[in-house]
């Protein structure tokens, strides 16, 4: 008998990253000559969707691009990686979200993020994807989008009993507002996956450290979250629910480039949760994905496949 293909719907921002390599990052008022240029579709939406697709899921992305040539570029990359783009809307009068990055010869970078069309994702557009959300096993949401769109996605997924995984960060249209004022709907997610700094920000904890992670996680659970997974880079994750708090260590890997680690983690976590209800095992699987993303240069090209993740998990078990 054929196994059912797990379904994941990702709600997240889409960007095109324009990377220029140069010998030195120029100070204000100066200009330098670039030596290489590349454009890549990126952002939490495409990256997390692609990771879930690489883990064998049927994936739909809900996002928004502009009316410029970058929009088609982003759509083509998504289609190439088998992500369904029926609900990637186009705001014709806006620009696609753009990140301009300069990388110097030491590999250090500076970037500027222009949110563009991402700030125009509306709740009606989430409603238009109601059937997709209702049929999905998991709805994975990244917080840097307009608050009304996120709240609507949470409401819709709740209505159809679709599991919600949310990376809570400040909504795009209120950068000055503190995350502590997040709408209460955010805390009805099944799993919250902030990194340590985002989690500290939400809970007004000034000491963001591995020592306070348990406390911060308990605070998120007290606010209503069924489970909080606080990611701490190479220091692993703290998984907190009503019953316990467990530290899940990170995998030891050779660090090449950390870009996309958080998105690899989130996409793989959603893929695992779409199949099984075991958060701690899901976090181990996702941690392997996050670690593997650090071993290759680049963003989308660095995302690991399900086979690579399983290989790392098995290697660890044998040690
Ligand atoms: N250097 C590393 N070595 C091993 N595993 C790592 C490393 N960095 C990240 N990971 C794994 O990936 C998970 C997510 O990473 P992290 O906490 O850095 O996310 P993030 O801050 O949200 O990243 P991003 O800025 O990409 O969104 C970690 O909890 C860990 O399991
Ligand atoms: Mg992150």
- For 95-131, the DSSP string reads PPEEEEEEE-TTS-EEEEEE-GGGGG--HHHHHTTHH
Would the CB of 251 count as within 6 Å of ligand 1?
yes
Pick 182 or 159 by higher pLDDT. 159
Give the pair of three-digit tokens for residue 164: 């919600």
Would the CB of 143 count as within 6 Å of ligand 1?
no
Centre of ligand 2 from the C-alpha of residue 2, in Å: 35
Mean pLDDT, to the nearest integer, of 221-243?
A: 96
For residue 294, pLDDT over 80 is answered with: yes
Mean pLDDT, to the nearest integer, of 213-235?
A: 96
Mean pLDDT, to the nearest integer, of 76-103?
A: 95
Ligand positioned closest to the Cα atom of 167:
2
Residues in the 5 Å CB sphere of ion ligand 2: 262
Centre of ligand 1 from the C-alpha of residue 191, in Å: 17
Q: H helices of the chain, where?
A: 44-54, 69-80, 123-127, 130-135, 147-159, 196-202, 213-222, 261-273, 279-293, 306-318
Mean pLDDT, to the nearest integer, of 73-96?
A: 96
Banded model confidence at residue 284, pLDDT cuts 50, 70, 90: very high
Centre of ligand 1 from the C-alpha of residue 269, in Å: 13
Mean pLDDT, to the nearest integer, of 133-159?
A: 97
Q: Which helix (H) or strand (E) holds 139?
A: strand 138-142
Question: What percent of the chain clears pLDDT 90, i.e. is strictly above it?
Answer: 82
What is d(CA 183, CA 147) in angstroms, rounded to the nearest whole number? 8
Question: What percent of the chain clears pLDDT 70, i.e. is strictly above it?
Answer: 96
Would the CB of 195 count as within 6 Å of ligand 1?
yes
Quick: pLDDT tens for 165-185.
999 986 666 655 565 578 899
Centre of ligand 1 from the C-alpha of residue 288, in Å: 10
Threshold 0.85, pTM exceeds: yes
Atom 2 of ligand 1, nearest CA residue? 234
What is d(CA 257, CA 142) in angstroms, rounded to the nearest whole number? 22
Tell me the best of 144, 261, 294 to mutate to test the pocket of ligand 1, counting ligand atoms within 8 Å of each CB and taking the most.
261
Centre of ligand 2 from the C-alpha of residue 1, in Å: 38
Crossing angle (nearest 10°) for helices 306-318 and 279-293: 100
For residue 120, pLDDT over 90 is answered with: yes
What is d(CA 127, CA 115) in angstroms, rounded to the nearest whole number? 22
Supply the mean pLDDT for the chain: 93
Atom 16 of ligand 1, nearest CA residue? 233
Would the CB of 287 count as within 6 Å of ligand 1?
yes
Centre of ligand 1 from the C-alpha of residue 273, in Å: 19
Instruction: Give the pLDDT confidence score for residue 101 in this predicted structure.
Output: 92
Query: What are the chain's domains?
Result: 7-11+43-96+120-318 (3.40.1190.20)
Would the CB of 8 count as within 6 Å of ligand 1?
no
What is d(CA 283, CA 166) in angstroms, rounded to the nearest whole number? 14
Dihedral sign, CA of 178, 182, 187, 189? negative
Q: Write the burial class of residue 51 (CB in 10 Å: 0-12 exposed, 13-18 middle, 19+ buried).
A: buried
Quick: pLDDT tens for 29-48.
999 999 999 899 999 999 99
Instruction: Give the pLDDT confidence score for residue 108 in this predicted structure.
Output: 82
Ligand positioned closest to the Cα atom of 248:
1
Banded model confidence at residue 298, pLDDT cuts 50, 70, 90: confident
Would the CB of 250 count as within 6 Å of ligand 1?
yes
Ligand positioned closest to the Cα atom of 264:
1
Would the CB of 262 count as within 6 Å of ligand 1?
yes
CA distances for 216 relative to 227, 232, 246, angstroms: 12, 12, 13
């Amino acid at each position: 008998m054929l196994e059912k293909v797990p379904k994941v719907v990702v709600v997240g921002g889409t960007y095109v990253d324009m990377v220029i390599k140069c010998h030195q990052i120029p100070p204000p008022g100066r200009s330098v000559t670039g030596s290489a240029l590349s454009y890549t579709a990126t952002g939490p939406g495409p990256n997390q969707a692609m990771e879930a697709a690489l883990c064998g899921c049927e994936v739909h992305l809900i996002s928004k691009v502009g009316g410029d040539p970058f929009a088609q570029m982003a759509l083509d990359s998504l289609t190439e990686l088998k992500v369904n783009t029926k609900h990637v809307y186009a705001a014709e009068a806006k620009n696609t979200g753009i990140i301009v990055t300069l990388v110097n010869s030491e590999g250090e970078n500076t970037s500027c993020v222009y949110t563009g069309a991402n700030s125009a994702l509306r709740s009606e557009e989430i409603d238009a994807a109601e059937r997709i959300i209702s049929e999905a096993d998991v709805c994975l949401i990244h917080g840097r989008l307009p608050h009304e769109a996120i709240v609507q996605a949470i409401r819709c997924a709740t209505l159809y009993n679709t599991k919600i995984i949310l990376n809570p960060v400040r909504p795009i249209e209120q950068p000055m507002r503190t995350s502590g004022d997040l709408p209460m709907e955010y805390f009805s997610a099944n799993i919250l996956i902030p990194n340590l700094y985002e989690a500290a920000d939400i809970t007004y904890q000034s000491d963001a450290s591995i020592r306070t992670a348990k406390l911060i996680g308990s605070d998120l659970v007290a606010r209503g979250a069924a489970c909080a997974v606080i990611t701490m880079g190479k220091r692993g994750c703290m998984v907190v629910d009503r019953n316990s708090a467990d530290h899940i260590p990170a995998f030891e890997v050779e660090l090449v480039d950390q870009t996309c680690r958080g998105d690899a983690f989130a996409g793989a976590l959603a893929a695992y949760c779409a199949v099984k209800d075991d958060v701690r095992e899901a976090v181990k699987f996702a941690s392997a994905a996050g670690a593997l993303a650090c071993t290759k240069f680049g963003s989308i090209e660095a995302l690991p496949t399900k086979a690579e993740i399983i290989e790392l998990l098995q290697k660890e078990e044998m040690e």
